Amino acid sequence: MLLISMTIAKAFAPSHITGFFVPVMRERAVESGSLGAGVCLEDGVVAEVALQDETRVTMEGEPFRSAPLVDALLELTSEPLWVDLHLDAPLGAGFGASGASILAALSAANHMLGLSLTCNEIATMAHRAEVVGRTGLGDVAAQVTGGVVLRIKEGIPPHGRVVHIPTKSVPVSWACFGEISTAAVLENVAVRKRILRAGRSCLKKLLDRPTLENFMLESRRFTEEVGLAGESVVDAIETAEASGVVAAQAMLGDTVFAIGENLFSEFENSGTSQINHTGVVLLK
């Protein structure tokens, strides 16, 4: 390995928990995506980028395979880049870590190379890489701005459209019990039908009364109607609700989440993070 430049750029992108969604697939990846709603968290991804002799990705210095991220980097520039990722959220567990990684890495590279691409252009590249790689459909659209986001038209603006539910930076608790393959779920025809039906209904009701409380209620309803939650997630939801807390499954992950602090501390892989309102930002 030959480090060509000691200049390192850093960027942060928040993690994103989807409460419910409606997949929308079109011929062009940039016009595909999902409708739905989710919440961005301060626990996210920091990407460090530097010039190198070949393009490669590491996580905490260790080799890490991410075809969508490499594809996005190659679309951005012909310059060989080294990207090192630092994650505060679990991978493959419904936190949008893939989208956050691509968005943060492209933002840092754009700044370091002086490419002067707009945030929307960077987001479009990240979103396209996610859709083509089948690692996500709506995370990037939310991670650009942060907050509690309703995706009311699929894709990245100007094609897509999002609106926000005003909220303070309150804590969100979660517990993760494993991974779920986004691609495998979306390829199941019966599951897709349940997702489409429930997702459209939940979005309509939340748009009628867009509050954080109703976001959680509709996410809980989506969890029940779609039926993807494993036994551990169901038990955690029931335990939370016995204490008067509305909990739901993070889509698509074997993960439970709820508004409040340290609600799932009895589980080994659990945590609490504040709602993020910055979206993707440069750190250096």
Residue 127 neighbours by CB under 8 Å, 6+ apart? 29, 30, 33, 99, 140, 141, 155, 156
Torsion of CA 71, 152, 256, 216, to 10 degrees: 160
Residue stretches of the chain with pLDDT short of 50: 1-2
Within its chain, how far is the Cα of 181 from the centroid?
A: 14
Whole-Å CA distances, 171 to 33, 109, 148: 27, 31, 12
| Residue partners of 30: CB distance under 8 A and separation at least 6 | 124, 127, 128, 131, 155, 156, 159
**What pLDDT is recorded for position 62?**
95
Domain covering 1-284 in this structure, CATH number: 3.30.230.120
Do residues 159 and 153 touch, judged by C-beta distance below 8 A?
yes
CB atoms within 10 A of CB 52: 17
List residues bridging with 172 in a β-sheet: 259, 273
Question: Residue ranges of the domains in the chain?
Answer: 1-284
Work out whether strand 81-87 and strand 56-59 pair parallel, antiparallel, or are unpaired.
Answer: parallel
Q: What angle do CA 23, 25, 29 make, to 5 degrees?
A: 120
What pLDDT shows up at residue 2?
A: 47
| Sign of the alpha-carbon dihedral angle for 84, 89, 92, 98 | negative
Q: How many CB atoms lie within 10 A of CB 118?
A: 9
202 Cβ contact partners less than 8 Å away, ≥ 6 residues apart = 19, 20, 36, 37, 218, 219, 221, 222
- What would the 3-class secondary structure string for the chain be? CCECCCCCEEEEEEEEEEEEEEEECCCCHHHCEEEEEEEEEEEEEEEEEEEECCCEEEECCEECCCHHHHHHHHHHCCCCEEEEEEECCCCCCCCCHHHHHHHHHHHHHHHHHCCCCCHHHHHHHHHHHHHHHCCCCCHHHHHCCCCEEEEEECCCCCCCEEEEECCCCCEEEEEECCCCCHHHHHCCHHHHHHHHHHHHHHHHHHHHCCCHHHHHHHHHHHHHHHCCCCHHHHHHHHHHHHCCCCEEECECCCEEEEECCCCCCCCCCEEEEEECCCCCEECC
